[in-house]
Amino acid sequence: MSEKIALGSVADLPAGRGIRVDYGEHRVAVFRVGDAIYAIGDRCSHAEASLAEGELFGMEVECPRHGSEFNLETGLPGSFPATKPVPVYEVIVQGDQATLVIEDGAG
Ligand code: FES
């Protein structure tokens, strides 16, 4: 089973920085890169800093606490100290509306 959460218009999502979306146990960091929307787990896999507050470099977000960089498509860290991936969430874009999909068990 999955839940769909409306994120609103793509154009209204900030470019170059994240927003945090909380849904139940899920804490999700959402990013807009051009017209594409990406969503990964907001809790850094190293020490749970908020990745939505990190700086975006292309397709990588830098953890604001210790600097590990996470890929927005894979959730994989590209640098230490984090060694484990964060979850990746599906985002559906229809027209100009973006929807976050949360699967049970993810996150
Ligand atoms: S909390 Fe993110 S790298 Fe340490």
Model pTM?
A: 0.95
Residue 17 has a CB neighbour count (10 Å cut-off) of 15
What is the reported pLDDT for 1?
83
d(CA 50, CA 98): 22
Cα dihedral 75, 30, 106, 4 sign:
negative
| 44 close to ligand 1 (CB < 6 Angstrom) | yes
What is the reported pLDDT for 16?
85
Per-residue tokens: 99: 């929807």
CA of 46 to the centre of ligand 1 (A): 5
| 21 close to ligand 1 (CB < 6 Angstrom) | no
How many structural domains comprise the chain? 1
CATH no. for residue 79?
2.102.10.10
Q: Closest by alpha carbon to 2, among 85, 92, 75, 74?
A: 92
Task: Pick the residue whose CA is nearest to atom 1 on ligand 1.
Answer: 47
% pLDDT > 90, the chain: 92
d(CA 62, CA 72): 11
Q: Residue 52 phi/psi, 5° resolution? A: -60, -20
Q: What is the pLDDT of residues 25-47, one digit of tens each?
A: 999 999 999 989 999 999 999 99
Domain that includes residue 37, residue range:
2-103
DSSP state of 6: E
Q: What is the pLDDT of residues 57-85, one digit of tens each?
A: 999 999 999 999 999 999 999 999 999 99
Whole-number Cα distances in Å, 47 to 20, 32, 106: 17, 24, 19
| 68 close to ligand 1 (CB < 6 Angstrom) | yes
